Amino acid sequence: MKNDFIQELKEKIKKGKPLTALAPMADVTDEVFREMIVKYSKPSGPDIFWTEFVSADGLNSVGKKNLMRDLVFNKKESPILAQIFSSKKENILEAIKLVYKLGFNGVDLNMGCPDRSVEKQLSGSAMMKYPKLSREIVEASRKLVDEINKKDKTRHFSFSVKTRLGYNKIEYEKWFPNILDFEPDIFSVHLRTRKELSLVEAHWEISFEVVDFIKKYCKGNDLKTPIIFLNGDVKSPIQVKEKIKLSTCDGIMIGRGAFGTPWFFNEKEFKKREEQNLDSKKGKENILYRLEILKEHTKLFEKKLNNFKSFNLMKKHYKAYVNGFDGAKELRVDLMEAKDYKEVKKIVDNFIKNRLK
């Protein structure tokens, strides 16, 4: 029988499990961070992973070799979708074939990234300004994914899209049909417009209407309803449940909430690790736990990605790991100067010796 993770997700939804997903985040959710999440959150969650985005144009150019590092497939993360962006249909189709061959469980089209360099290529958020082109791309992608599925008798390969509520203003009723008409298996919405970037709070106040629109539109037009993930500002497993209840979506996609907390998707562990008070035994234990994971993460990054990515990318993680306890600011400042694992270990071990023992 065909291994179909979409059906498995639907079973979980039926049973009332709040689904969680790790959001795609460029230069953050790399193979190393995902490996940390597998170690510290699984089997509780996430129910599905996304890779960081990868340029489909790049994958079809001479620069392909380096980009392939962003498409390392690890079965332990499965189900995992590879996210691609481009506005060139042919490149997208080639990238889909590649992603399938690499073993990913599906492909996700990025139709929401506001980065200028991405938008210049008419990709990411810019696609919202070109609905005709977007429709062509979504339709062709869906068709190719269907062909792949027809041939493959062993596993399901899914088609997914991630987007925002609109470009300059909230106009999902006008924009979403360009995607929903082609029946994505998964549809993820970052609850902001392109113009809002991440500068305002995500629009949870209209989340129920957004989900209601998607469901009614699909039903009314005899279209398959996708699994719906909503996304934006969700910072704890409790909020995951609250937001699903509020919106009636199927799952929540977590981005920044998982920074510095690779155990985010393990609700019990998350709760246990909240207290970070240097004056209490439990608080000290939790800070120690964080710092040991920070070192482990750094060591793994150095081992696997040092030849491909700048060590400075780890600094984003340090800002998140080292936060909210006495002495965190000083420790962070020291870590910003570190150039490799050896220096990070020395700085962290000193802090542990002087403040936690």
Ligand X SMILES: Cc1cc2nc3c(=O)[nH]c(=O)nc-3n(C[C@H](O)[C@H](O)[C@H](O)COP(=O)(O)O)c2cc1C
**Which residue has the CB atom at the shortest distance from ligand X?**
255
Torsion angle defined by CA atoms of residues 167, 171, 176 and 178, in that order, rounded to the nearest 10 degrees: -70
Closest to ligand X by CB, 266 or 284:
266
Least distance in angstroms from the C-beta of 221 to ligand X: 26
Least distance in angstroms from the C-beta of 118 to ligand X: 9
Contact with ligand X (CB under 6 A): which of 91, 110, 207, 261?
110
- Rounded CA-CA distance 57/184 in Å is 22
Least distance in angstroms from the C-beta of 234 to ligand X: 6
- Rounded CA-CA distance 38/45 in Å is 8
Contact with ligand X (CB under 6 A): which of 69, 195, 256, 272?
256
Least distance in angstroms from the C-beta of 270 to ligand X: 15
Least distance in angstroms from the C-beta of 193 to ligand X: 12
* Beta bridge partner(s), residue 252: 20, 230
Binding mask 21-60 for ligand X (x = CB under 6 A): --xxxx-x-----------------------xx-------
Contact with ligand X (CB under 6 A): which of 112, 177, 184, 260?
112
Binding mask 66-85 for ligand X (x = CB under 6 A): -----------------x--
The two structure tokens encoding residue 74: 């690890």
- Bond before 43 cis per omega within 30 degrees: yes
Which entry of 6, 113, 179, 293 is annotated as an active-site residue?
A: 113
Contact with ligand X (CB under 6 A): which of 91, 158, 207, 231?
231
Buried b (16+ CB within 10 A) or exposed e, 325-346: beebeebbebbeebeebeebee
Q: Are 341 and 294 in contact (CB under 8 A)?
A: no
Closest to ligand X by CB, 254 or 291:
254
- Candidate segments 2-10, 151-159, 165-173, 228-236, binder of ligand X by CB under 6 A: 228-236
Least distance in angstroms from the C-beta of 154 to ligand X: 28
Q: Are 170 and 206 in contact (CB under 8 A)?
A: yes
Closest to ligand X by CB, 28 or 67:
28
Query: Is position 243 an interface residue for ligand X (rule: CB under 6 A)?
Result: no
Query: Is position 232 an interface residue for ligand X (rule: CB under 6 A)?
Result: yes
Torsion angle defined by CA atoms of residues 115, 305, 82 and 264, in that order, rounded to the nearest 10 degrees: -90
Which residues have CB under 8 Å from 306's CB, separation 6+?
Answer: none
Binding mask 142-171 for ligand X (x = CB under 6 A): --------------------x---------
113 catalytic? Reply is: yes
Catalytic annotation, residues: 113
Give contact residues for ligand X (rule: CB under 6 A): 23-26, 28, 52-53, 83, 110, 112-113, 162, 190, 231-234, 254-257
